[in-house]
Chains A and B, each alone.
Chain A
Amino acid sequence: MREITLSQAVNEALAEEMRRDPTTFIMGEDVAEAGTPFKVLSGLVEEFGTDRVIDTPIAEPGFMGMAVGAAMTGARPIVDLMFGDFIFLIMDQLCNQAAKTHYMSGGKLNVPLVLRTNLGATRRSAAQHSQSLQALVAHIPGLKVAMPSSAYEAKGLMKTAIRDNNPVVIFEDKLMYQDKAPVPEEEYLIPFGVANVKREGSDITLIATSSMVQVAEKAAEMLAAEGISAEVIDPRTIVPLDEEALLKSVRKTSRAIVIDEGHQSYGVTAEIASRLNEKAFYHLDAPVLRMGAMDVPVPFSPALEDITVPTPEGVAENARKLCAGEMIHAA
């Protein structure tokens, strides 16, 4: 199968859906001629024109709100938010408006919009351009949240997101844009709420999101060399969450580590870990462990930044301890 980059995969998904559905359009800063700073949208304005690939002024709350209004009235906007960190600027329109409109209108209004944004540290971009804020939006009922872990997922989840009649937030890892993966030429969609078992194992389950899937896979590789069999599962969407798939795996392995790049406290890992505790407690041989980013604003200095995120070595070390029956006190 051909291999393409995550960036190309997103680009293809957008182009295919925009060809299919004339009510779709892209709106955001530097999306047209520049194709975003990450060049993910390169070529789209040439095909779809500036009416459908719209450069906005630097006014995030404004264009996010416009997308909500357009979505309520028959369009399917795809909002491009240059950095995930800017989500703080659009919180009202996203969480008070988009997320609640369908419910508050008693099901009469839909807000079929996609918010494309990113996450991920270690790009030396400091505290306002490196955050992984998926937990914040996952907390709000009414929003769906997708976290692609490779080019394959990026394409299939984006196409589903565009066709979903609810507001969907997609977080791409900005360090993965150039990573290649096999992606079929033929059309495919990845349904929301269906986890993917990336690697089968019997001793411990590593549940990981986005680029942490790679971290978990590398850890599993290291553990395999030592005779520990780790299963790696990617939930692909954290809302909706494929709880059954996670529970099934943990009932089999009886140990789990949950890995996500958001801050460790009050995060995605905490939510998943507590669901496992609630629903698979009697199958567990060890406490479910959370591994997230250190609870600090992301430091600029490379020396500091690198130790704030989960690494394969760190995951493997914790897995080893859990399998040996050692207690670990999470930070």
Chain B
Amino acid sequence: MPDTANSDTNLPYALRAYSREDLVGALRKMFLIRKFEEGAEDSYTRGLIHGTMHLSIGQEASAVGSCMSLTDADKITSTHRGHGHCVAKNADLGRMFAEFFGKETGYCRGRGGSMHIADVEKGNLGANGIVGGGLPIAVGAALTAKRLGTGAVTICFFGDGANNEGAFHEALNMASVWKLPVVFVCENNKYGMSTSIERSTSVKNIADRAVAYSMPGVTVDGNDFSAVTEAVDAAVARARAGEGPSLVENLTYRWRGHSKSDRNRYRTKEEIAEWMERDPIRRMADLLVSHDILSEAEVGALEAETEQEIRDAIAFANQSPAPLIEDATRFVYTEEMA
């Protein structure tokens, strides 16, 4: 929760709104996401993980910054590029890796894998293999919150590519008509697979779509933790106050290819290098160091600590048992009745 202890308006928003502990925790999560993705990549290379994966290296500020003012009671819906969202919503790294490795100890007992991690206790309703699939689902979760008066807010993460699905437009319209407590967070990394936003999308900024659905829409530097937090916190507050949905567009970039099959021919080395210069983690660390919240040495120690956590998580996943073959048909239906 943002606290307004520090009212020096010259400070970046995040430093005004959050305690030292919160801010260090946020940087820590950003490191965890980066190291998680690198650990996943490495495990894939070593043949421990099968299938494909969509890494969010370079997008850490968007995931962590967007979830800053959420509690475990608040919900998110995530995407195929969802590992960062899980970590931002406080997932356990061992259980995440176990899911990746197809193990019984994984979040979905190995049934879902990388593209389908859900962490229900923490309010993560799940990643999605269908682009745009999570958009109406998020609106449904917001409908529940409104009907039951839970006060919960739902953040709906989606990519720039998803904004051209009909589901996006239907979801925003209904959320607006019924003033539902949902925040649409577009992680605009400029491409949906090989197709650039310029080639696929009729508006310059995806936030421009908000006008058509009578909701606020803002575009922010998605690699600037404070800017993301400021925009999404305001949208979450508006949702909580019963004033309806908002659209926030975080401009960011994925450093890696779309997935394991990407030849990366649609973008230049220069473009990638330029975005790597705008590393959201380095920028967050610089912010904290320049405001004497952490020393450079403490940042280094934090990073090393997260590396160890990832090693431990991978070891846990490795040692975990695979699902039992006789359980293959469990969970197709629930046995419970209302």
Instruction: Give per-residue flags for A106-127: 1 if the beta carbon is below 8 A from chain B beta carbons, else 0.
Output: 0000000000000000011111
In the complex, the answer to whether B194 meets A301 with C-beta atoms within 8 Å is no
In the complex, the answer to whether B115 meets A126 with C-beta atoms within 8 Å is yes
For A305, the closest partner residue in chain B by CB is B102
| Residues of chain A contacted by B103 (CB below 8 angstroms) | 301
Question: Which one of B50, B129, B261, B329 lies within 8 Å of A129 (CB-CB)?
Answer: B129
In the complex, the answer to whether A303 meets B325 with C-beta atoms within 8 Å is yes
| Residues of chain B contacted by A295 (CB below 8 angstroms) | 329, 332
Question: Which one of A34, A38, A85, A307 lies within 8 Å of B194 (CB-CB)?
Answer: A34
How far is the CB of B321 from the nearest CB of chain A, in Å?
9
Question: Quick check: is A49 within 8 A (CB to CB) of the other chain?
Answer: no
In the complex, the answer to whether A304 meets B111 with C-beta atoms within 8 Å is yes
Interface stretch (choices B2-10, B158-166, B217-225): B158-166
Instruction: Give per-residue flags for A32-49: 1 if the beta carbon is below 8 A from chain B beta carbons, else 0.
Output: 011001110000000000
In the complex, the answer to whether B130 meets A297 with C-beta atoms within 8 Å is no
A127 to B51 CA separation, bound complex (whole angstroms): 12
In the complex, the answer to whether A34 meets B263 with C-beta atoms within 8 Å is yes
For A86, the closest partner residue in chain B by CB is B130
A70 to B131 CA separation, bound complex (whole angstroms): 25
Instruction: Using known A-B contacts A37-B193, A307-B328, determine if residue A58 contacts B131 with beta carbons closer than 8 Å.
Output: yes
In the complex, the answer to whether B328 meets A308 with C-beta atoms within 8 Å is yes
A89 to B170 CA separation, bound complex (whole angstroms): 14
How far is the CB of B128 from the nearest CB of chain A, in Å?
8
**Interface positions of A from 275 to 331, Cβ below 8 Å from B:** 294-297, 299-304, 307-308
For B131, the closest partner residue in chain A by CB is A58
Interface size class of B (residues with CB under 8 A): 35 or more
For B328, the closest partner residue in chain A by CB is A304
Instruction: Using known A-B contacts A57-B200, A62-B166, A304-B323, determine if residue A126 contacts B193 with beta carbons closer than 8 Å.
Output: no
A60 to B130 CA separation, bound complex (whole angstroms): 11
In the complex, the answer to whether B162 meets A300 with C-beta atoms within 8 Å is no
Instruction: Give per-residue flags for B95-125: 1 if the beta carbon is below 8 A from chain A beta carbons, else 0.
Output: 0000100110000101111111000000000
A34 to B200 CA separation, bound complex (whole angstroms): 15
| Residues of chain B contacted by A34 (CB below 8 angstroms) | 193-194, 263, 265-266
For B101, the closest partner residue in chain A by CB is A301
Question: Quick check: is A153 within 8 A (CB to CB) of the other chain?
Answer: no
Question: Quick check: is B294 within 8 A (CB to CB) of the other chain?
Answer: no
In the complex, the answer to whether A126 meets B328 with C-beta atoms within 8 Å is no
A308 to B327 CA separation, bound complex (whole angstroms): 12
| Residues of chain B contacted by A307 (CB below 8 angstroms) | 325, 328
A297 to B113 CA separation, bound complex (whole angstroms): 13
How far is the CB of A91 from the nearest CB of chain B, in Å?
13
How far is the CB of B263 from the nearest CB of chain A, in Å?
7
Instruction: Give per-residue flags for B303-326: 1 if the beta carbon is below 8 A from chain A beta carbons, else 0.
Output: 000000000000000000011010
In the complex, the answer to whether A29 meets B195 with C-beta atoms within 8 Å is yes
In the complex, the answer to whether B195 meets A296 with C-beta atoms within 8 Å is no
| Residues of chain A contacted by B204 (CB below 8 angstroms) | none
For A306, the closest partner residue in chain B by CB is B325
How far is the CB of B177 from the nearest CB of chain A, in Å?
21
Question: Quick check: is A128 within 8 A (CB to CB) of the other chain?
Answer: yes
Question: Quick check: is B214 within 8 A (CB to CB) of the other chain?
Answer: no
In the complex, the answer to whether A124 meets B51 with C-beta atoms within 8 Å is yes
Question: Quick check: is B201 within 8 A (CB to CB) of the other chain?
Answer: yes
**Interface positions of B from 222 to 266, Cβ below 8 Å from A:** 259, 261, 263, 265-266
In the complex, the answer to whether B102 meets A303 with C-beta atoms within 8 Å is yes
In the complex, the answer to whether A33 meets B110 with C-beta atoms within 8 Å is no
In the complex, the answer to whether B165 meets A59 with C-beta atoms within 8 Å is yes
A126 to B103 CA separation, bound complex (whole angstroms): 14
Question: Quick check: is B269 within 8 A (CB to CB) of the other chain?
Answer: no
For B108, the closest partner residue in chain A by CB is A300
Question: Which one of A37, A294, A299 lies within 8 Å of B261 (CB-CB)?
Answer: A37
How far is the CB of A134 from the nearest CB of chain B, in Å?
20
In the complex, the answer to whether A296 meets B51 with C-beta atoms within 8 Å is no
| Residues of chain B contacted by A39 (CB below 8 angstroms) | 261
Question: Quick check: is A231 within 8 A (CB to CB) of the other chain?
Answer: no
Instruction: Using known A-B contacts A30-B193, A37-B193, A59-B164, determine if residue A300 contacts B112 with beta carbons closer than 8 Å.
Output: yes
Name 19 extra pairs, CB < 8 A, besides A34-B263, A38-B261: A34-B193, A55-B195, A57-B195, A57-B200, A58-B195, A59-B165, A86-B130, A89-B130, A124-B113, A126-B51, A126-B111, A128-B130, A299-B323, A300-B110, A301-B103, A301-B110, A301-B323, A302-B102, A302-B322
| Pairs of residues from A and B, 7 with the lowest C-beta to C-beta distance, nearest first | A300-B113, A301-B102, A124-B51, A128-B129, A301-B110, A124-B50, A57-B164
What are 26 contact pairs spanning A and B, CB under 8 A?
Answer: A29-B195, A37-B193, A39-B261, A55-B194, A56-B200, A57-B200, A58-B161, A58-B165, A59-B166, A85-B129, A126-B111, A126-B112, A127-B111, A127-B112, A296-B328, A297-B111, A299-B323, A300-B51, A300-B99, A300-B102, A300-B111, A301-B110, A301-B322, A304-B110, A304-B327, A304-B328
Which residues of A pack against B, CB within 8 Å? 29-30, 33-34, 37-39, 55-62, 85-86, 89, 123-129, 294-297, 299-304, 307-308
